[in-house]
A and B are shown apart, each in its own frame.
Chain A
Amino acid sequence: MLTELEKQIVRELQKGLPLVSQPYLELSGRLGMSETELMEKIKEFLERGLLRRLGAAVRHQDLGYVANAMIVWEVPGEQVLQAGQTMSDFAEVSHCYQRPVYADWPYNLFTMVHGQDEAACQKIAERLSQATGIKKYKLLFSTAELKKSTMKYFV
């Protein structure tokens, strides 16, 4: 569990770093701690894994990635681990998860891939299929973004 001060630090860091010469000094003033204490705490958060990273979240669609596909795979149970690891080795795969199946949903392995266009995503899917031997899959392209927001914790 996080202490109240730690939650307060999370709240400040998720608002964003101020664009001033000494951003940590400015934040530390709001938190009632010293600049050094805050910087140490941020490093500790990174070590503990609370913070994945500190930095810029960019819009990837603006940087040349225009298509993103969720590829869903129907993988026999005993092959999931191997297939998941193999797919994760591909740089084009940003996320790879195992998820439950349902009567009308047989796909248990999910990969997110990013490419210049839909054809590029198709090619990546073919390569993933060849590398793992998993033949049953579907590419689900996003046709509209209805919401994309950054989570606000402890609000």
Chain B
Amino acid sequence: MDLEKLDQLDKKLLNIIQTGFPITTRPYRELAEKLATSEADIINRIERLQKIGVIRRLGGIFDSRSLGYTGTLCAMQVPEDRIDEVAAVINSYPGITHNYLREHKYNMWFTLLAESKERIQEILLEIKDVTAIKQLIVLPAENIFKIKVNFDTEV
């Protein structure tokens, strides 16, 4: 999964398809023309890049707010010896898209997306209930200054 496995054409292809995947009848052929190769080569390369995990997904990256979803970042204080168990509870919700450990008293950081504010509240109450951890701060974005478009959605 390291950089050495990518040749120049892979890198150029990755650059283009992160932001400019063609919306035309034969998108892979259009990419092939831009990169002076064949349609089959482009398809094979994308397939390989997906297989080795460089491309996580080729498809639509949606704006959760525009779709009517609401989200928030949360931070929780989880005792070292309970990390796996608590992470399992939190990660079981499909709306939890990211969960990271960070070096702080608030050590577990996760993002939660749901169809409504009420549903967010409900899930957070369940998490507090099931884990019996009360130290959980809810940090919704109050002001968005920047979201770089070729990075994944965070909330």
Q: Which residues of A contact B (CB under 8 A)?
A: 1-2, 10, 13-17, 19-25, 35, 39, 42-43, 45, 48-60, 62-64, 70, 80-81, 84-85, 87-88, 93-100, 102, 104-105, 110, 112, 138, 140-155
User: 17 other contacts beyond A60-B151, A143-B101, with CB at 8 A cut-off?
Assistant: A2-B68, A53-B19, A53-B61, A55-B61, A56-B21, A58-B56, A99-B141, A99-B142, A112-B151, A142-B101, A144-B101, A147-B96, A147-B99, A148-B99, A151-B64, A151-B97, A151-B153
Majority DSSP secondary structure for residues of A touching B: mixed
Query: Would A59 and B3 count as touching, CB distance under 8 A?
Result: no
Min C-beta distance of A120 to chain B, whole Å: 17
A125→B16 CA distance, assembly (Å):
30
Query: Would A149 and B142 count as touching, CB distance under 8 A?
Result: no
Q: Which residues of B contact A (CB under 8 A)?
A: 1-3, 14, 17-21, 23-29, 39, 43, 46-47, 49, 53-64, 66-69, 73, 75, 83, 87, 90-91, 94-106, 108-110, 113, 137-154
Given contacts A141-B102, A143-B101, contact A100 B142 (CB under 8 A): yes
Min C-beta distance of A17 to chain B, whole Å: 5
Min C-beta distance of A62 to chain B, whole Å: 5
Query: Would A43 and B104 count as touching, CB distance under 8 A?
Result: no
Q: From A6, which residue of chain B is reached at the shortest CB distance?
A: B67
Question: Total A-B pairs in contact (CB under 8 Å)?
Answer: 237
Residues of B within 8 A of A99 (CB): 73, 139-142
Residues of B within 8 A of A84 (CB): 143, 145-146
Closest 8 CB pairs of A and B: A13-B60, A98-B143, A84-B145, A88-B146, A55-B21, A147-B99, A96-B145, A16-B59
Query: Would A147 and B98 count as touching, CB distance under 8 A?
Result: yes
Query: Would B149 and A53 count as touching, CB distance under 8 A?
Result: yes
Residues of A within 8 A of B14 (CB): 56, 58, 63
Contact partner, A80, options B63, B98, B99, B143, Cβ 8 Å: B143
Residues of A within 8 A of B153 (CB): 52, 151
A145→B98 CA distance, assembly (Å):
8
Min C-beta distance of A113 to chain B, whole Å: 11
Query: Would A17 and B59 count as touching, CB distance under 8 A?
Result: yes
Majority DSSP secondary structure for residues of B touching A: mixed
Min C-beta distance of A8 to chain B, whole Å: 13
Q: From A23, which residue of chain B is reached at the shortest CB distance?
A: B27
Given contacts A58-B14, A62-B3, contact A22 B146 (CB under 8 A): no
Query: Would A112 and B154 count as touching, CB distance under 8 A?
Result: yes
Contact partner, A21, options B29, B54, B69, B145, Cβ 8 Å: B29
Residues of B within 8 A of A94 (CB): 146-148, 151
A50→B61 CA distance, assembly (Å):
9
Contact partner, A2, options B18, B67, B105, B151, Cβ 8 Å: B67
Interface centre among A80, A143, A144 (most CB of B within 10 A): A144
Interface centre among B21, B63, B67 (most CB of A within 10 A): B67
